[in-house]
Amino acid sequence: MTMTPKDTLTMGLVGSGFITEFHLKSMLGVRNVKVGGVYSRSEENRQRIVDLAAELGLGPCTSFSSLDGMLEDEGIDAIWILSPNHTRLDIMRQIHAAVTEKRSKIVAVACEKPLARTIGEANEMLRLAEDAKLNHGYLENQVFCTPVLRGKEIIWRRAAANAGRPYLARAAEEHSGPHAAWFWQGDKQGGGVLNDMMCHSVEVARHLLTDPAKPRSSLKIKAVNGTVANLKWTQPKYAQQLSERYGPDVDYRNRPSEDFARATITLEDEEGNDLMIEATTSWAYVGAGLRIQLELLGPEYSMEFNSLATGLKIFMSREISGAEGEDLVEKQNAEQGLMPVLEDEAGIYGYTDENRHMVECFRKGETPSETFMDGVAVVQMLMGLYYSAEEGRTVTFPAEELENYVPMVARVGAN
Ligand SMILES: NC(=O)c1ccc[n+]([C@@H]2O[C@H](COP(=O)([O-])OP(=O)(O)OC[C@H]3O[C@@H](n4cnc5c(N)ncnc54)[C@H](OP(=O)(O)O)[C@@H]3O)[C@@H](O)[C@H]2O)c1
């Protein structure tokens, strides 16, 4: 893709919730970018984002009451899809129509994780982006976490070059449960915690194992084995808590989705060596807040990262009381005692480097290091894991039976 680089990329945001605010905050560390517009259904939500963009000096940001209105605005260069999983494909279809009918001049689209809820949907997302000749980026922030960028660079340059490639990556992401009703609804979200959080773990592990000089496709997925379970949120007391918090839309007594998932994934490199990913995720972890744990092991070396083993810790005695918040760490569970604090969450979780990379690629017409193709590969691994858990056996790849597969928890009540 060749084009004259744009001096500034003006982005339009679809969605105005939790992740949109995180992306906006991270843009403070990104150059050559402006936030030109936001579209979501409620005017109040859009105004919150317009105000935040102004406060951060990223605007002027216009509140658009229709997606077509934002797509047809000549000032918008690229779209960031940051709305819930069940809205993705319709939004992408609208983008495709506006671009192919020449009503929109956008050149690129970035989409939050997971790219889609099934392999069929993921393939369609990719097809629509390519058919409209749009540059595309898959927003997997953990690939851009500052400890991952730094750790991978050192391991491959100093250790792997000396002693041989890494062979085992471990990744875990756990917290005490998501913040909005749709995450808990299997048909809307596409599954439970396996879909919601293991998409991060499998991709960051695959990224760590990939030779930096080679594409992600240099590693072939050979087999996947998954387990899912309901550990916490189906217990009557906790199912009741969900009903009280979200009303009848979330019925964990009758329509639960998994709150625990485990995966082993066997891969093969170009020399025929076996590599392993071990991943575990849960919505049943009550610690200080969100915990990401990553490890990479090779013949004479290892690296590890734990997002809650922070350098900065704050102690507050029982005499200090205050409102609940997420001001110390994401998905925070306490406001007293010895608390870890991530002093730059947007950076450490990867949003700043992710957006810097996407903005620079879109501005210059270059292909990002994470595209919708990687998003498709992630969905293939996730569907393989759900199928493995449902069948109680290891699934070997390529697995044609996954093409039309819908996870059991997404089938219940599916519309
Ligand atoms: N990378 C990460 O670690 C991470 C973390 C959290 C979430 N995410 C991903 O980000 C996406 C959004 O999650 P979230 O946590 O921001 O959810 P959220 O807090 O529930 O916000 C969802 C937003 O989407 C808007 N929306 C709903 N339906 C829409 C539609 N049809 N068209 C346009 N906007 C619509 C809602 O606003 P209105 O009601 O005004 O429409 C709301 O602002 C999900 O795909 C999720 O998986 C990623």
Mean pLDDT of 184-204: 98
Listed in sequence order, the residues at least 6 apart from 313 whose beta carbon sits closer than 8 Å to its beta carbon are 338, 339, 340, 341
Q: What pLDDT was estimated at residue 158? A: 97
Kindly give the distance from the C-alpha atom of residue 84 to the centroid of ligand 1, in angstroms, as a whole number: 4
pTM (2 d.p.): 0.97
**Percent share of the chain, pLDDT over 90:** 95
Residues linked to residue 78 through DSSP beta bridges, in sequence order: 11, 108
The label of the residue with tokens 């390529």 reads 398
Token pair in block for residue 132: 């409209």
Nearest ligand 1 atom, CA 182: 20
Dump pLDDT digits (tens) for 382-393. 999 999 999 999
Nearest ligand 1 atom, CA 16: 43
Question: Is 207:171 a contact under the CB 8 Å cutoff?
Answer: no
Closest C-alpha to ligand 1, atom 3: 141
Beta strands in 106-188 (DSSP E): 108-112, 135-139, 168-174
Mean pLDDT of 83-96: 98
Average per-residue pLDDT in the chain? 96
Cβ–ligand 1 distance for 145 under 6 Å, the answer no
Q: What pLDDT was estimated at residue 413? A: 57
Dump pLDDT digits (tens) for 99-154. 999 999 999 999 999 999 999 999 999 999 999 999 999 999 999 999 999 999 99
Q: What pLDDT was estimated at residue 412? A: 63
Kindly give the distance from the C-alpha atom of residue 273 to the centroid of ligand 1, in angstroms, as a whole number: 40
Q: What pLDDT was estimated at residue 3? A: 79
Which region holds residue 354: left if phi is over 0, alpha if psi is between -120 and 50, else beta?
alpha
The dihedral built from the CA positions of residue 270, 271, 274 and 279, taken in this order, carries a sign that is negative
Domains by residue range for the chain, with CATH: 9-140 (3.40.50.720), 143-351+378-411 (3.30.360.10)
3-state secondary structure of 238: helix
Kindly give the distance from the C-alpha atom of residue 299 to the centroid of ligand 1, in angstroms, as a whole number: 42
Look at residue 415 and tell me whether its pLDDT is greater than 50. Answer: no
Q: What pLDDT was estimated at residue 414? A: 46
Q: What pLDDT was estimated at residue 2? A: 61
Kindly give the distance from the C-alpha atom of residue 279 to the centroid of ligand 1, in angstroms, as a whole number: 25
Closest C-alpha to ligand 1, atom 1: 141
Q: How far is CA 215 from the centre of its chain?
A: 20
d(CA 11, CA 26): 14
Dump pLDDT digits (tens) for 254-298. 999 999 999 999 999 999 999 999 999 999 999 999 999 999 999
